[in-house]
Chains A and B, each alone.
Chain A
C-alpha cells in the first residue's frame, strides 16, 4: 500500500501530531512565556532520534528535539521501555539551550517495538539558581544557574517517579507554575503518542517507516533545490560586538553543502554568554532554512546539506560546566553576523539587519493587589531591516521568534500589577533615496510595588547594520527613572532592585536602512 497518496496521508498525520502537541501546550501551560511568547517547541522523531516533524511557533525550536532524543537514545539504549517519560535540561546532555528550557520526551511503542519519539521543550519561568527567573548575568558556571536535570525518568514503565517531581518543585521559586508546565508537556506528549499509535494500527509500522523515509527525502530535495539557487563560493562574515570585539566566520556554498565555519569564534566566556554546540547548530539551521526553503515544513532531511564547524572551548562549543543562561543573545548575534555576511557579499536579496536581540525582560515581585508572586518574562519587539523595495517592518519579534504574541497591556497590568504608561513606535529615519528600517518600540513600565529586574540585550552599542550604501539603524536601550533622575542601564543587568513608582523604559532599535531600488 506504499502508493504516493497513502504516504501523503501518513505524512500529514505525522505533521499534525507535532502541531497538536504544540496546540495542547499552548492552551495548558501556566507560564506566559510558553503560552504567549511560545518559547517552546514540539517534535516527532523516528526511533533513533532523526527529526520527522516539528510543531513549533518559533524557528529557534525547530530541529532542537532531535538532538534531545539522540542524547537520550545514546545513554539509555536497550533500557527504554513502554511507559517511560524522560526529562532533561542539561544543555550538553539533550537540553540543547539553557537550564530554563526543559525537555520532556516519550518513546512511542507499537506491539512492543519502539517506533518513534514525541518530545517537547519549554521555557520554565524559574528553575532555581541565584536570581528570580534563573537568568543571572553574574554567574560563571552552569551549576550556579539553577537545577540541572540530567536525563531522568519522570515516568518509569507508566509509573510516576514522585522523587523527580518533588525535586523539581523544591528547586523552583514558582513551584505551581513548573508543576503546571510539566503536566502540560506530559499531556501534549500523550496526545501525539496516541496519534502515532493510531497510524501504526491503521497502516502498519512498515508504512510509518516508508512515510518517514520519503518525507526525509523530500526535505533533502527541497534543501538542495534552494541551495542550487545560491551562488557558489566562500563568503566572509564579520560583525562588531557591543563588548568591542569583532566576530568572524566564513560560509562555503557548494553544489550540495552549506558549510559554516565558526572556528574563528572567541574563547568561551566565564559569564553566561556561551551556547552549546547543539545551540550553535540550531542557529545555523534557522538561517540555512530561511535561505533554502522558508516553508514551515522541516525534518532531518531539511538540514542534511548543512555542516557546522566549531572549536571546542569557544563560545559556540564550550566545556560542559560553562554558564549558558543568555545563550539566546549569543545565538541571535551569530545569525545576525552570518546574515550580514551573506547580504553584503553573496549577492542574495536579503533585508538589512534588524534590532537583533531577544531582549528578554524579567521583572519578578509580588502583585500589589493579590500579594501573589509573579515573574514577567517578556522578549521585546523591535524594528526589522529595510529592503530596496520597501521600508522594514515595525515592532516585530526577533528573527528567532515567529508566531509569538506580545502580552496585551490590559492583560499585563492585571497579571503583574504594574502600570504600562505608554507603548509607542519609535522614529523612522531615512534620507532621499533610502528605505527606512522598521521602527522600534518604546515601552514605559511604572512599578506599583517593589520588584527585581534581570535583563540582557544585544545591539546596545553597535547599531543595526544597513545594506551597503544606506544609513545604519538604531540601538537598543534600557532606562531607569527614579525620583526624577533618568539613567541609562548597561546591556546586561542582574537583580536590579526596583522600588514602587520607579519607571523602567525599554527602547528597541530601528532596523537598518537600504538604498531604494534604482535610486543609488
Chain B
C-alpha cells in the first residue's frame, strides 16, 4: 500500500444521513471519521454531500464508496411509487388480487384483505402457456400488446410489470413480451419477473415484479441524482449500493432492479457482524441490532449469513402483507427498541412495544412532552443509562417526567416505580430473547456455540442479559457500535444471489442435471460481471441446493462443495438427512428431491481490511470515570464502575458490575462478567469469567 486509501460509507435514514470514513495510511494505521447530518427529502443527494463536507471528506480522494438508502422501503410503505400496468398470462390477471386467500387474524370477522398494488383495469392478459417443465403448451400471442399499451398510456401508467406463468422454468415468453413492450414503448420503465427471480409461486413472483416496477422510476431518479451530485464534486467512480443480501451492487444494476435493496439497512449491520466474527475468530455469531423502534436479529453460521427469498412487507398477526421474493438476509424483527412504549392492558398485563415514542415526543425523559414510559426511561431510572450523560450529554434527562411516566405504569400494576422499571426491562428482554430463539434454538442451533454481537444504539444495553439467558459463548460489542451498519457496508463484496426452481429426483443421472443448472447460473453471473468490468478471476461462487423428502413442501438448504456428479449424490443426501434431523429431530427413509438451487456469486471490490492496533496494558484506570448504583433487575442493585468508552484502549480489561459510556451507546456489564478490549477496540464480555 503506497498511498492513503479512503473508503466512505453513507447511509440515508429517515431522520439522519450518517457517514463513516476509514482512512488507511501507507504505514497501515487507520483513522476513522464519523459524521451525521439531516436527511434532506426530496433531494437526498444534498444530505449526502452535506455529510461528506461535514466529515471533511473530499470526494475526489475517495477510493471506494458504498451507499445505503431507505428510498425503496419508504416508497413502498408510504405508497409513493408510480402507477403500474401488469401484463400476465391469459386467465390469470386476478392472481395479484386473489393473493393467497389467508387471514392471519383468524378470529376477526372484520378482517380487511390488503389491496393489490395494481387495480383490475390495469391488469392485462396475453395468450400463451408454458408448462411447469418449461415446455410450450400454447404459443405466445403478442398481437394484443399494442392495444394493451395504448390503454396503459391513456391511464397514465409510468411502469410496466410482466409476469407469466412458469416463466421461472422457461423465460422465452417473458423475454419476447419484454422485447415487444420495449419496441412499442421504448421510453417506458419495464421489468419482467425472470429479471427478479427464477423461483416458482406465481403470486409471490407477480407481486415482486409489480413492486419493483412501482419503485423503479423513483429509485432510478434518486440514484441518478446522487451519482451526478457526487461526480460533480469529483467522485472518481459511482458508489456501490447496499443490497438486502448483505452485498453491494453497482449503481447501474440497482437502478434497473431496485427492489433488491428493500431491506438493505439491516443487511449491512448483519454483514458487519459476520465480518467481525471472522476477524476475531468467532465465525458463529448471533447478531442483534437494537434501534429506537425495533430490534432485529440474525444468525451467522461459519461466517455465512443466511439468505432467503421469503420476505414480506406489512405482514403482521393482523394482516397478510405483501411478498417480495428477492434475496434478503434471514432476520427476525420485533417492535422493541429504546423508544418502545410500556403499557398495561385491560387485564393487568405489562407489554413493551410495538408502539414507539419515536423521535418526537420520544421517551418521557427527553422532556419533549412524552408522558408514556419507554424502555429508555426504565434504563435511565435504574441507573443503567447515566442521567448526567444522556444521549452522549446532548439532552438533559427529565427525570421527573420519567418518574411520573413509570409511576403510571407501576400504579396500574400495583407495584413501585423501581419494580415497574425492572419489569419493563425484563419484559423487553424477554421479547428480544424470544426473537433470538426464533433464529437459533428453533432451527436446531445450540446458542452455547455462538457469540452474541450487539450493535445499534440500544444493543449493548441489553446484550449481556440476553446472552446470559441464552448461555452464549460471549458477548462482543463492536467499536463504534452505533454506526456499525456503515462498517458492514465497507466490508461488503459485490454479491448476487440467484435462486432457480427446478425439480430433480436424487437418482442416477441427477448429478449431471444439477451440475448443468449451476453451470448455467454461474456462466450467466460471470458474464454479467464481465460486462460490468469486474475481473472474472476475482469472482467466486458458493453453491447451495434446496432439498426435501419427496411430497414435502418446505426445503432445507444444504451447502454443496465441488462439482455435482452422480458419485457425489449419496454424500449430498447424507448432508440433507443430517441437516433435516438437526432441525426436526427425525429422518425418514424416503426419496429425496432437489427443488432448486441457490447460487451466490461474489467479487471483491476493494473492501476494507482492518488493521490491528498494538495491545497495550490491561489497566483500565485511565478510562475509569467513577462509580454509581445500577439496578440489574433480577440480579439486584450493585455499585458499578463507570468507564468512558472513548478512552478504552486495546488490551484494557476489567470486571463487572460496570457500565461503559460511549457517545452513541451504553454498555451494561453485569456482576461476574469479565471485559477485555481486542486489538480493534471491540469489547469482549466473558459472561462467567469475572472475579466477582
Contacts and interface: CB of A to CB of B under 8 A. Distances in A.
Interface of A: 3-5, 8-9, 12, 16, 20, 23-24, 26-32, 35-36, 56-59, 176-177, 179-180, 183-184, 186-187, 190-191, 218, 221-222, 225, 286, 289-290, 293-296, 339, 350-351, 369, 381, 387, 390, 393-397, 399, 401-406, 408-411, 413-414, 419, 421-425, 441, 444
A438 to B, nearest CB: 8
A13 B270 CA distance: 27
A35 B102 contact: no
Nearest to A382: B101
Given A5-B422, A425-B97, A393 B112 contact: yes
Contact of B132 (A3, A218, A414): A414
B552 A180 contact: yes
Contact of B553 (A32, A222, A381, A423): A32
Contacts of B584: 24, 27-28, 184, 187
Given A5-B350, A395-B101, A351 B110 contact: yes
Nearest to B425: A5
A183 B588 contact: yes
A405 B415 CA distance: 45
A215 to B, nearest CB: 9
Interface string B163-195: 001101000000000000000000000000000
Contacts of B110: 294, 351, 387
Nearest to B550: A176
A497 B133 CA distance: 27
B325 to A, nearest CB: 12
Contact of A294 (B98, B100, B109, B349): B109
Interface secondary structure of B, over-half rule: loop
A59 B586 contact: no
A408 B109 contact: no
Interface of B: 90-95, 97-113, 120, 131-133, 137, 165-166, 168, 200-204, 317, 346-350, 413, 415, 419, 422-423, 426-427, 430, 434, 437, 442, 503, 549-554, 584-586, 588, 590
B91 A413 contact: no
Contact of B91 (A20, A289, A422): A422
B547 to A, nearest CB: 13
A331 B364 CA distance: 51
B124 to A, nearest CB: 13
Nearest to A426: B94
Contacts of A423: 91-92, 94-95, 98
Nearest to A31: B551
Contact of A396 (B95, B101, B430): B101
Contact of A441 (B93, B98, B554): B98
B446 to A, nearest CB: 13
Contact of B347 (A190, A222, A403): A222
Contact of B423 (A5, A20, A190, A381): A5
6 residue pairs, one from A and one from B, having the closest CB atoms: A402-B106, A422-B91, A414-B132, A381-B101, A294-B107, A5-B423
B602 to A, nearest CB: 29
B426 A5 contact: yes
B209 to A, nearest CB: 14
A419 B550 CA distance: 21
B348 A4 contact: yes
A422 B90 contact: yes
Given A35-B554, A176-B590, A404 B101 contact: yes
12 contacts: A8-B349, A9-B427, A381-B98, A394-B113, A395-B94, A396-B113, A401-B102, A401-B103, A402-B106, A406-B100, A408-B201, A423-B98
Given A422-B92, A424-B92, A406 B104 contact: no
Contacts of A27: 554, 584
B335 to A, nearest CB: 15
A180 B549 CA distance: 9
Given A36-B553, A351-B109, A410 B430 contact: no
B201 to A, nearest CB: 5
A351 B317 CA distance: 21
Given A5-B350, A396-B113, A409 B106 contact: no
Given A191-B585, A290-B109, A397 B551 contact: no
A184 B551 CA distance: 13
A493 B202 CA distance: 30
A22 to B, nearest CB: 12
Contacts of A191: 585
A226 to B, nearest CB: 11
Given A187-B586, A401-B106, A422-B92, 15 more contacts: A28-B584, A31-B551, A58-B106, A59-B107, A179-B588, A180-B552, A221-B346, A222-B346, A225-B346, A293-B107, A294-B107, A405-B100, A405-B101, A413-B131, A421-B91
Contacts of A23: 442
Given A30-B549, A423-B98, A411 B586 contact: no
Contacts of A350: 109
A482 B422 CA distance: 71
B635 to A, nearest CB: 14
B431 to A, nearest CB: 8
Contact of A403 (B92, B106, B422): B106
Contacts of B346: 221-222, 225
B568 to A, nearest CB: 24
Contacts of B106: 56-59, 296, 401-403
Nearest to B580: A28
A8 B430 contact: yes
A396 B350 contact: no
A193 to B, nearest CB: 11
A299 B426 CA distance: 24
A339 B97 CA distance: 27
A403 B102 contact: yes
B551 A424 contact: no
Contact of B552 (A30, A396, A410): A30
Contacts of A31: 551
Contacts of B101: 381, 395-397, 404-406
A410 B165 contact: yes
B200 A411 contact: yes
A404 B320 CA distance: 10
A16 B91 CA distance: 41
A61 B132 CA distance: 34
Given A35-B554, A183-B586, A410-B202, A424 B94 contact: yes
Contact of A410 (B94, B168, B554): B168
Given A8-B350, A410-B166, A425-B94, A294 B108 contact: yes
B347 A402 contact: no
B102 A405 contact: yes
A409 B92 contact: yes
Contact of A393 (B95, B111, B426, B553): B111
A390 to B, nearest CB: 7
A339 B107 CA distance: 13
A8 B95 CA distance: 42
B202 A409 contact: yes
A4 B349 contact: yes
Nearest to A219: B347
A453 B467 CA distance: 55
A286 B109 CA distance: 10
A258 B82 CA distance: 51
Given A218-B347, A289-B107, A396-B113, A26 B554 contact: yes
Contacts of B419: 3
A24 B584 CA distance: 7
A9 B350 contact: no
A319 to B, nearest CB: 32
A394 B131 CA distance: 28
A519 to B, nearest CB: 20
